[in-house]
Amino acid sequence: MILVTGGAGFIGSNFVLQWLAARDEPVVNLDNLTYAGNLRNLDSVRGDARHIFVRGDIDDPELVAQLLRAHRPRAVLNFAAETHVDRSILGPAEFVRTNIHGTFNLLEAARAYWGGLAGEEQRRFRFLQVSTDEVYGSLSAEEAAFRETTAYAPNSPYAASKAAADHMVRAYHHTYGLPTLTTNCSNNYGPFQFPEKLIPLVIINALAGKPIPVYGDGQNVRDWLYVDDHCSGIRRVLEAAQPGEVYNIGGNSEKNNLEVVRTLCAVLDELRPAPRPYASLIAYVKDRPGHDRRYAIDAGKIRRELGWQPAQNFAGGMRRTVSWYLANTEWSSSVTSGEYQKWMNANYQERGAA
């Protein structure tokens, strides 16, 4: 049995689905079902006795402790987080509460639970923190990619909240001996991603004939990682890494935002032709404050030590992603109403042209 937090969100739900497809070990899935958590992501395992869903907050000490006592998991994997940089700029308080204090609460509960285990149960227990490359800050075009030894230099409230959580995880290992692991991933994309993020936003706006917003000059660079590859990397770290280790998980696919948008438009032109090229919808908008120029992941350590590397290249991952959204328009419609529309109005319509 493992306990996954945030398992109804984008990366968490993909991890749960991949886990249950690959093995019989049950999953307790704790998710608060905030705006980006969606039980529809898990429709394919509805009724599966190996998936135990619990709605609740990682910042609820009694609930977390009760789940650990009742289910006795051999690992806790923390996917639960507020993750969108723009939202953190407009409202950082929730990022502090969930990402910092929520992780602290999980660590405290895990420490107490682990301390009560004995023998092989205690030896094999792991606490795995799923983090981001954004904790490392920004790179120039000439600088080497982020390594696990790169100093943290977060530049947004989101990145700072994840950095603080990572530091707490490290401290609980070195101070208390809690067997922790941390993974820092590059930009994920794939099925079930909430459409505030670049790739699903481009797909959904393009299909609706709406402007495709591109921040600034569109030259901000990210390393792009298909979500299934990220999940397989996390599974490999959980099964093979030594306590206290940190691994960067990247896709070996550095692209600037404009390249990503134009690639998506070209795939849409092929798979769902429109009267005019989708790229004609591109609209440059005012850049976000403090927008990091470049992220790049050096995933050499996980390749050398654990034998993991991504299976999906950028072109193939983009095609798979577009195909999924084209085949699941009902899912997209269900998450792009109400609060989502308010967010789009606040973040884009009031932003203005670049």
- The pLDDT tens digits for 249-280 are 999 999 999 999 999 999 999 999 999 999 99
The dihedral of CA 227, 233, 239, 245: what is its sign? negative
Res 148 pLDDT > 60: yes
> Backbone phi, then psi, for 208, in 5-degree steps?
-90, 0
pLDDT band at 352 (very low <50, low <70, confident <90, very high): low
Domains of the chain, first to last? 2-189+226-252+295-312 (3.40.50.720)
Number of helices (H) and strands (E) in the chain: give both, helices first.
14, 12
Mean pLDDT (the chain, rounded) = 94
User: Where is pLDDT greater, at 116 or 288?
Assistant: 116
- Say which of 57, 133, 228, 229 is annotated catalytic: 133
Contact 223, 186 (CB under 8 A): yes
Residue 239 among the catalytic residues: no
Q: Nearest 5°: phi and psi at 282?
A: -60, 130
Q: Is 305 part of the annotated catalytic residue set?
A: no
For residue 126, the cross-strand partners are 75
Closest residue by Cα to residue 80 from 57, 62, 60: 57
Return the structure tokens found at 112.
């107490």
DSSP conformational letter for 103: H
- 35 and 340 in contact (C-beta within 8 Å)? yes
Show the CA angle centred on residue 292, arms to residues 233 and 187, nearest 5°: 20
Distances from the Cα of 159 to the Cα of 119, 260, 336, angstroms: 37, 22, 25
Distances (CA, A) of 200 to 14, 66, 96, 136, 232: 16, 37, 26, 25, 22
Q: Which residue has the tokens 């696919």?
A: 253
Active-site position among 113, 158, 189, 226 = 158
pLDDT digits (tens, 9 = 90+) for 19-63: 999 999 999 999 999 888 899 999 999 999 999 999 999 999 999
172 a catalytic residue: no
Residue 341, pLDDT score: 58
Residue 78 has pLDDT above 70, yes or no: yes
Decide if 34 contacts 59 (C-beta within 8 A): no
SS3 readout for 298-353: CCHHHHHHHCCCCCCCHHHHHHHHHHHHHHCHHHHHHHCCCHHHHHHHHHHHCCCE
Of 57, 59, 82, 134, the active-site residue reads 134
Sheet holding 246-249, edge to edge: 51-55, 27-31, 2-5, 75-78, 126-132, 180-185, 246-249
On whether the CB atoms of residues 83 and 95 are closer than 8 A, the answer is no
Phi, psi of 78 (to 5 degrees): -100, 95
DSSP 252: S
Of 192, 222, 206, give the one whose Cα is nearest residue 39: 192
Assigned token pair, 180: 């922790």
Three-state SS sequence of 107-176: HHHHHHHHHCCCHHHHHHCEEEEEEEHHHHCCCCCCCCCECCCCCCCCCCHHHHHHHHHHHHHHHHHHHH
pLDDT digits (tens, 9 = 90+) for 200-254: 999 999 999 999 999 999 999 999 999 999 999 999 999 999 999 999 999 999 9
Q: Which of 186, 348, 204 is nearest to 252 (CA)?
A: 186
* Reported confidence tier of residue 288, pLDDT bands at 50, 70, 90: confident
State residue 347's pLDDT score: 54
Alpha carbons 156 and 298: distance in angstroms, whole number: 22
| Band of residue 290 on the pLDDT scale cut at 50, 70, 90 | confident
In this predicted structure, the answer to whether residue 334 has a pLDDT above a threshold of 90 is no
Please write the tens of the pLDDT for every residue from 96-126. Answer: 999 999 999 999 999 999 999 999 999 999 9
